[in-house]
Structure 1
């Protein structure tokens, strides 16, 4: 095997993506990538593609990759009684997400290296305002993927883009993507990430950056998050669109943005809730 994997599902993902790399990058196939068929999501009594003991994360990664490639012929080869409730729930949520971003996903392009050479890769979907980037590491060892503005955009709508990670967790990256500064994203073994790129000039509210977030409650002019810091990472908080930040609370205590930055950058590891008031 060129790129061995413990999970049968990871092997299947890498095979599909290598085939698309070979056809559309190496051989420059003159055909819309969105119009090909890749045999969908398979899990049934006649073919338990993920194996009898497939983890929920493997199932989720496969669903994310399938719908995020931008292939518009969606196929489900499933035996309903085989799937768990959690697998059904995630599949339904992923299909709803793909319907929401259908027009953006249609505009799909392979980016990165050869999966069979253990190179990180992904699919970029350029939209008028929001763009999506799906990236994956096909190998067991941690790797990174680096991209520039010109690697991704054919016609950039702005000279700066905020990078928002949607999967596997929600985090706003501290450093925006600009023409003068490439962005490097770390990926653990076989990890899949979904990134949303937003033009900085289009932001009309503040976004907390550099920390993991779980939205709890949304109102007209405020959002409440639970904040997670990783004891294995050097966390450092910041804000995208800070000019729109009018009030900030941590555990119901009003604080300033600089104080919040100091709390995180001092290395305090905690799960907390704070409220960001939007203008």
Structure 2
């Protein structure tokens, strides 16, 4: 991996480059005259549009019909072409070995172009940042109104001409691609629009709220390149996993929800859960347990986020016990206050002390934000919390009077940053209110798959129907609507076997074993266990530990996990595949009551790059008899699956003859 370079080739042209890409910034006098992006991998060059970037303002008309009395035109576009540029500066970025993001650990270079204030009083700075070995550049805009609040309604960070522009999905915040999937781009926000407009690739984000005076608005976008046939892997592994808030890695946790539902519980219940999971998984079977998540029921809903009377020592004793097993406590919080009667009780307890909106408490409210943040920090500092389940944010386009945030969404982004500053290795699971945008993972570690917590569809036992439902939500709500979304970061509700789980309080045949292997084979780092420990037999603990150990040992391969096969709702054979230079992994399930044949080309299923080995030996870590001892890319392989069968295949590359 060669280092990035920074050079002033000719007067007025500043260049940043690495092995993959090159970006040239052209200035003429005091103008930013142009930006050229060169894809070295595919031999293409792209020129940014004449505007380079644009900021769209609209002072509009007040609700009473009176226009804003400021002497400024109502709609207006500000672009690089209309601004006076200061002298561009190039700077080397040293790598930080302790950086939370993988990208921060790499050295790099950046080009910064500050602009003089314009008539609106906006201070704007444009930055391009390139890291060593990265197939992408990040373009950043820092916008700050210096004189008065500014009604910025849209910021376009990228605009360039390119062939074959496609929006990669049908939900908000999906990236766009061009040149047959060899170029990808997008504003790094789940609220962004990235796609085609008037024949150009654009990456932008809209707003409905003003930016307060001397408040910074930071908007960033990615522009990257991929080899033919390697778009998904490049976007997810070489870009997204490098920039995500916390690198991918197995996070095994037991969740109390289906053992308690809305019932309150106490320290005795909590310590017993920690002890049983610690002894059975960690001490007896050598698995790693990361966290015990205490869901709804730990607090007293007659107060606001205070422990109930059963936790006289809060989670302090629980934390000490968890630490003895190498784990830590996690906790459920709901920014909007929770659900049902407990939510109403919390709202009643708060009275008029805190701000609310249509969904409950408003995180963007100044008083509630400060209170909620202090409750979270107290959990980290005094109770050793290593994992937050933040369940429910709302009001994404509603600004409360006096708030420094444009919405609850902006508030939660800021909150997560402050919590990670306190504890960089914190695992954060955002649930209700999210959707299948890959750009969530700059702030969160996992998001909800969508749909009901659990339900039943298809054929077979209740457990088989639950698995079909679970995986149909993964496919319909994520894979089908956002093909570049990393399913390795979904909260799926994993494995459910508890006394209070409707329809899932018993086990028939090998159903539970199938559920365990399918959950870990899905490759999601959010490895949730909803299993009453007192119900588990030694053989079931054995299977759980074996699958958990297998998944953790295969982190470097499972990070590449992607969907293969068809639709669970249609009872088609489906599953997950992942590949790394070390091996390929394949988990396949037949959701039907009929025997099925599934045919595949290993090269296509593993999305093998041209330089990858073509021949593989095959074994099954979940003990299934395979109809083959190996396979070769380009040759069709057929698998016979019994009704509801789950088969896991581990494929090791064979040495070249």
User: Does TM, normalized by the shorter one, top 0.5?
Assistant: yes
* Equivalent of 1:59 in 508, 512, 521: 512
Q: Shift of the alpha carbon at 1:111?
A: 0.5
CA contact (8 A) 2:630 2:651 kept: no
Give the CA deviation at 1:142: 0.4
Answer yes or no: is 1:40 the counterpart of 2:474: no
Match of 1:272 in 2: none
Assess, with a 3 A threshold, how the Cα gap between structure 1 residues 170 and 187 changes in structure 2: closer, same or farther. Answer: closer
CA contact (8 A) 1:50 1:59 kept: no
* One of 610, 614, 619 as aligned partner of 1:159: 614
Matched, 1:199 2:653: yes
- 1:225-236 alignment, distance < 5 Å: none
Aligned to 1:83, which of 536, 545, 557? 536
Which runs of 5 or more residues in structure 2 are unaligned? 1-454
Q: What is the deviation of 1:106?
A: 1.6
Q: 1:111 aligns with which of 552, 564, 567?
A: 564
Q: Within 2, Cα distance between the matches of 1:141 and 1:15?
A: 18
User: Corresponding residue for 1:68?
Assistant: 521
Q: Is 1:187 matched up with 2:641?
A: yes
* Native 8 Å contact 2:458 2:569 kept in 1: no
In the alignment, is the contact (CA less than 8 A) between 1:9 and 1:50 conserved in 2?
yes
User: 1:99 pairs with 549, 552, 555, which one?
Assistant: 552
Please identify which structure carries the higher helix content.
1
Residue equivalent to 2:233: none
Where 2:464 maps in the other structure, the secondary structure is helix
C-alpha distance in 1, partners of 2:623/2:475? 24
TM-score, normalised to structure 1's length? 0.66
Q: Structure 1 residues 135, 19: CA separation in 2 closer, same or farther (over 3 Å shift)?
A: same
The DSSP-based 3-state class of the residue aligned with 1:167 is coil
Task: Render the CA deviation track for 1:62-96: whole Å, top value 9, x for unaligned.
Answer: 00000110111111122211112211121111111
> Is it true that 1:15 corresponds to 2:457 in the alignment?
no
CA contact (8 A) 2:584 2:606 kept: no
Say if 1:120 and 1:136, in contact at 8 Å, map to a contact too. yes
Correspondence for 2:633: 178
SS of structure 2 residue aligned to 1:158: coil
TM-fit CA distance, 1:45:
1.9
Q: Does 1:139 align with 2:587?
A: no
Aligned 8 A contact 2:574 2:589 in 1: yes
Partner of 2:481: 27
**Change beyond 3 A, Cα 1:202–1:14:** farther
CA contact (8 A) 1:163 1:177 kept: no
Change over 3 Å in CA distance of 1:202–1:191 after alignment to 2: farther
Instruction: Give the 3-state SS of the residue equivalent to 1:19 in structure 2.
Output: helix
- Separation of aligned partners in 2, 1:69 and 1:90: 16
**SS at 1:95's partner residue?**
helix
Distance 2:456 2:511 in 1: 20
* Residue of structure 1 in register with 2:460 after alignment: 6
Gaps of 5+ in 1: 204-279
SS class of match (1:42): strand
Contact 1:16 1:38 in 2 (8 A): yes
Deviations 1:100-141 (A, max 9, x none): 112211211000111111211110011112110001111010
Q: Which moved more, 1:165-174 or 1:89-98?
A: 165-174
Residues 32, 25 of structure 1: alpha-carbon distance in 2 compared, 3 angstrom cutoff: closer
* Aligned alpha-carbon RMSD (Å): 2.3
User: How far is the alpha carbon of 1:2 from its aligned partner?
Assistant: 9.8
CA distance in 2, matches of 1:4, 1:133: 23
How far the C-alpha of 1:48 sits from its partner, in A, is 6.0
Seen in structure 2, the aligned counterparts of structure 1 residues 69 and 177 have a Cα distance that, compared at 3 Å, is same
Q: CA deviation at 1:174?
A: 4.3
How far, CA to CA, are the matches of 1:130 and 1:116 in structure 2?
30
Aligned to 1:123: 576
C-alpha separation in 1, matches of 2:643 and 2:480: 25
Paired with 1:118 and 1:36, the residues of 2 have a C-alpha distance of 22
